[in-house]
DNA sequence: ATTAAAACATGACAAATATCATATTTTAAA
DNA sequence: TTTAAAATATGATATTTGTCATGTTTTAAT
């Protein structure tokens, strides 16, 4: 079985600040889990017994709103942690985690995180900085949601997906999302997302090949109103 | 001069987890600052040299969006900390803090926070839990912004203000905000906020006396669509 | 290869919200 | 107290976004 060091050496998350012994313990007791596209990793209201670390693939954190819509809060790629916050605040998770494509996760039991958190200053400060960064991001998203048009938000997500998850050799976004996924991220109706993406195609800001999307004009996409 | 213990004894924030010596040091070096309604406590892009703790009054954290609108991210009352995140992540603040009424703040220099953060496990874990809570709150606000109508958000803010800052002997909200303030919080146009609040009056969900607002029917206000 | 289901597309219309204009009221300063 | 400025109110209208209906295309299973 592969060791945590492989992930950690890439400096992917705060676990890099664990001591060698702590890391070995994590590595020894972690389990690897596989999920298929669309699978639920955990569901709102569940009590998590540990933290998941994305080894391969992409997951989303979502919440079902009162009117039955799914709102996606965050996309998580390689090296990012799922369930961190629930473990820290010792509460049930208020979000669901769903696989956006076939995904491989490492599961690390709660104790292996909590103990270093209470004993290893470097680690806990690092986690603190991570949470601070997440908080800044969430506030930024809130402001965008309040101040930008749906069209601007769709453009922004396309740009984000290109930057965060990259493109293949032909320039298509590596992360393939449905129009419905996009709608849930920007907080709009599926039809609106479809219409906007169609318009982007007509305006040659993007091109598509089936479900694949390629950004053709990043500059103009950034200037969408 | 008053001591920190007075604030801390009310268990208002993570500073309660400082050791006696740490707390004494904070208490000794802190300074008290006064701001008048509308004053800028700090501005976007500033580099903060410490953390502010609200002793009396209410402040808001806001960001100026590209289209020139102010978006209010959070209201902060007694015992809450301003600038915490910028100090932790050692970045310039991306938000402005503005006094919503006459306000008294304690200013604690950076070092007095950073040092305990790196040495006192109990304190740093407590701050961690606070940030986790803030993050959950920010995600909740994001979802509300995406999924609820402007009317629902206005109703929600009124309820929040009553709960968080209380009412006077006649039942009027202690925190007096302008319609424009409400608009900035819910992310809408001032006229829309005015219209919605007027409608709430007509529907007897609230009543007003000048700028003062009293919630008359909390149940119905919660059920606004 | 065939076919059913899912995803995508698009028109027509409705609803929510923004914008602009113009009064009226309230607040705070002189 | 008077008065100018700010805040609130409201109508008319434009724009954005959502909803419903109905096709078409794509995907994936048989």
How is B191-225 classified by DSSP, letter by letter?
HHHHHHHHHHHHTTSEEEETTEEEES-HHHHHT--
Say which DSSP state B173 is in: B
CB A96 within 8 A of CB A64: yes
> How far out from the chain centre does Cα A40 lie?
14
What is the layout of strands, in order, in the sheet containing B40-42?
B40-42, B96-99, B59-64, B70-76
Query: What's residue B53's pLDDT?
Result: 94
Q: Where are the domains of chain A?
A: 4-145, 149-222
Q: Report yes or no: B50 and B113 within 8 Å, Cβ to Cβ.
A: yes
- pLDDT per residue, tens digit, chain B (225 aa), is 566 777 776 666 888 899 999 989 988 999 999 999 999 999 999 999 999 999 999 999 999 988 889 999 999 999 999 999 999 999 999 999 999 999 999 999 999 999 999 999 999 999 999 999 999 999 999 999 999 999 999 999 999 999 999 999 999 999 999 999 999 999 999 999 999 999 999 999 999 998 899 999 999 999 999
Compute the distance between CA of residue A181 and CA of residue B21 in angstroms, rounded to an integer. Answer: 52
Residues of B in contact with A118 (CB under 8 A): 121, 125
What percent of chain A is modeled with pLDDT above 90?
Answer: 85
Residue among B95, B121, B142 minimizing CB distance to A138: B142
CB of residue B63 closer than 7 A to nucleic acid strand D?
A: no
Neighbours of A69 (CB within 10 A): 18
Residues 6+ positions from B221 with CB-CB distance below 8 Å: B155, B158, B159, B200, B205, B206, B215
pLDDT at residue A57, as a whole number: 95
Q: What is the CATH number of domain A149-222?
A: 1.10.10.10
Q: Which of A124, A128, A183 to mutate to test the interface with B (most CBs of B within 10 A)?
A: A128
Q: According to the model, what pLDDT value does residue B210 have?
A: 86
Both structure tokens of B14: 């993570």
CB of A56 under 7 A from strand C? Answer: no
Within 7 Å of a protein beta carbon, the nucleotides of strand D are: 7-11, 16-21, 26-27
For chain A, report the end-to-end CA distance as a whole number of angstroms.
50
User: Per residue in A113-136, pLDDT tens?
Assistant: 999 999 999 999 999 999 999 999
Nearest of A42, A35, A32 to residue A57 by alpha carbon: A35
The total of other beta-carbon atoms located within 10 Å of residue A161's CB is: 22
pTM of the model: 0.94
Whether the beta carbon of A192 falls within 7 A of nucleic chain D: the reply is yes
pLDDT at A15: 85
Residues 6+ apart with CB under 8 A from A52: A33, A41, A42, A81, A82, A83, A97, A105, A106, A107, A108
Q: Do A121 and B124 touch (CB under 8 A)?
A: yes
- Are the Cβ atoms of A73 and B119 closer than 8 angstroms? no
Q: Are A165 and A212 in contact (CB under 8 A)?
A: no
Distance CA B211, CA B173 (A): 10
**Integer distance in angstroms from CA B158 to C1' C26?**
21
User: Are A89 and A72 a contacting pair, CB within 8 Å?
Assistant: no
Distance CA A107, CA A207 (A): 38
- Tell the CATH superfamily of the B4-145 domain: Jelly Rolls (2.60.120.10)
What 3-state class would DSSP assign to A151? Answer: helix
Q: Residue A210 and residue B8: Cα distance in Å, rounded?
A: 60
| Sheet-wide strand order for A59-64 | A40-42, A96-99, A59-64, A70-76
Judged against a pLDDT cut of 90, whether residue A82 lies above it is answered with: yes
User: Quick one: which of B106, B45, B109 has its CA closest to B81?
Assistant: B106
pLDDT value for B10: 67
Best residue in A114, A146, A148 for a mutation probing chain B (most B CBs within 10 Å):
A146
pLDDT, tens only, A130-161:
999 999 999 999 999 999 999 999 999 999 99
CA dist., res. B180 & res. B165, Å (int): 19
How far apart CA B200 and CA B155 sit, in angstroms, is 9
Please give the angle made by the CA atoms of A3, A8 and A9, to the nearest 5 degrees: 100
DSSP E strand stretches across chain A = 31-35, 40-42, 50-56, 59-64, 70-76, 81-82, 96-99, 103-109, 206-209, 212-215
pLDDT in tens, A183-219: 999 999 999 999 999 999 999 999 999 889 999 999 9
pLDDT in the model for residue B214: 97
Per DSSP, helices labelled H in chain B are 4-8, 20-29, 84-89, 110-119, 121-147, 150-165, 179-186, 190-202, 218-222
| Nearest residue to B123 (alpha-carbon basis) of B75, B164, B95, B84 | B84
Contacts of B51 (CB under 8 A, 6+ apart): B81, B82, B83, B84, B87, B107, B108, B110, B113
Tokens 């402040």 sit on residue: B59
Considering only the beta carbons, identify the residue of B85, B119, B140 that sits closest to A121: B119
pLDDT of residue B5: 72
Quick one: average pLDDT of A75-100?
Answer: 95
CB contact under 8 A, A142 and B142: yes
Confidence (pLDDT) at A1: 53
* Chain A residues close to B124, C-beta within 8 Å: 121, 124-125, 128
pLDDT of residue B165: 97
**C-alpha radius of gyration, chain B, whole number:** 19
Model confidence over B164-217: pLDDT tens digits? 999 999 999 999 999 999 999 999 999 999 999 999 999 999 999 988 999 999
Token pair for A115: 């103990």
Q: What pLDDT, on the 0 to 100 scale, is given for residue A105?
A: 94
- Say what the alpha-carbon torsion angle A43, A48, A50, A51 is, to the nearest 10 degrees: 40
Pick from A94, A143, A145: CB nearest B136: A94
């Amino acid at each position: 079985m592969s060791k945590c060091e492989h992930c950690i050496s890439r400096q992917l998350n705060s676990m890099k600040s664990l001591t060698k012994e702590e890391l070995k313990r994590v590595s020894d007791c972690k389990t690897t889990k596989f999920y298929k596209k669309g699978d639920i990793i955990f569901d709102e209201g569940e009590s998590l017994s540990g933290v998941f670390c994305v080894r391969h693939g992409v997951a989303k954190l979502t919440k079902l709103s009162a009117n039955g819509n799914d709102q996606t809060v965050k996309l998580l790629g390689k090296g990012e942690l799922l369930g961190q916050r629930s473990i820290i605040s010792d509460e049930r998770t208020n979000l669901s985690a769903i696989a956006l494509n076939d995904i491989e996760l490492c599961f690390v039991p709660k104790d292996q995180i909590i103990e270093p958190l209470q004993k290893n200053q470097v680690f806990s400060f690092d986690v603190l900085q991570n949470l601070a960064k997440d908080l800044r991001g969430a506030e930024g998203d809130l402001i965008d949601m309040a101040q930008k048009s749906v069209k601007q938000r769709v453009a922004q997500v396309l740009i984000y997906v290109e930057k965060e998850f990259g493109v293949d050799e032909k320039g298509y976004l590596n992360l393939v999302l449905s129009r419905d996924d996009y709608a849930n991220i920007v907080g709009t109706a599926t039809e609106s997302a479809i219409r906007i993406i169609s318009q982007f195609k007509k305006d040659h800001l993007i091109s598509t090949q089936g479900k694949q999307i390629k950004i053709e004009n990043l500059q103009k996409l950034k200037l969408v109103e």
